[in-house]
Amino acid sequence: MDEWELIAKCQKGEPEAFEQLVKPYLAMAYRTAYLIIHDKHLAQDAVQEGLIEAYQHIDRLDPKRGVAFRNWLYRIITFRALNLVRKQKPAVEYEEMIPEEALTPLDNVIQREEQRQIWQAIRSMKAEHRAVIILYYYEGFSVSEIAKITGSFEGTVKSRMHKARKLIAQQLDKDCKRSDFLREGAMTHD
């Protein structure tokens, strides 16, 4: 059964069809909300509120308008997450340590430090900048899709991405000396 057939069933009031429709997107929706909010419980709240809103307003989706369900759902989830960020106090620390195979233990330490610096930069951004970076780099949406999801113009999305990239670069430049020190110190002890 294709997506629009499931949407039609949802619009007729069949909750099982809604469950089938959203199931493939739940993990990514939660990840997106979590990366925007930095809080597991608030991310769950954002997804839950978004799903309730999507279920209540599924009748707004029209195949003639050509809006993909995935984009429509992510727009709702992203707005819920951004609203929760605006309401909360300063963001909770988020560290994602992805185990990576490295050539040497030193390379692994340096790579983790660089990841930490990137996340530190992302964490310190305004929610609007953080959202476009997460949607683009981690969820794979295009600029035009992000514009639709966030309710912004494409130029605004590009501007926010540019600003976010600049902030990340500044953070990496600022912390570059620390990484260089680690590399040079380790090489002199070989």
- Name which of 62-76, 97-111, 142-156 the model is least confident about: 97-111
Residue at token pair 């939660």: 30
In one-letter notation, the amino acid at residue 53 is: E
> What mean pLDDT, rounded, does the chain reach?
81
The fold for domain 101-189 equals: Arc Repressor Mutant, subunit A (1.10.10)
Q: Which CATH architecture has domain 1-96?
A: Orthogonal Bundle (1.10)
CATH 1.10.1740.10 residue ranges of the chain are 1-96
Task: Give 153-157's long-range contacts (Cβ < 8 A, gap of 24+).
Answer: 157/132
Phi, psi of 50, rounded to the nearest 5 degrees: -65, -40
- Give the model confidence (pLDDT) of 107-158 as tens digits: 667 777 777 888 888 888 888 899 999 999 888 899 999 998 888 999 999 9
- Give the model confidence (pLDDT) of 150-189 as tens digits: 889 999 999 999 999 998 888 778 766 555 555 555 555 4
CATH 1.10.10.10 residue ranges of the chain are 101-189
**C-alpha torsion angle, residues 78, 81, 83, 84 (rounded to 10):** 180
**d(C-alpha 46, C-alpha 75), whole Å:** 12
Predicted pLDDT at 144 = 92
- Give the model confidence (pLDDT) of 8-35 as tens digits: 888 888 889 899 999 999 999 999 999 8
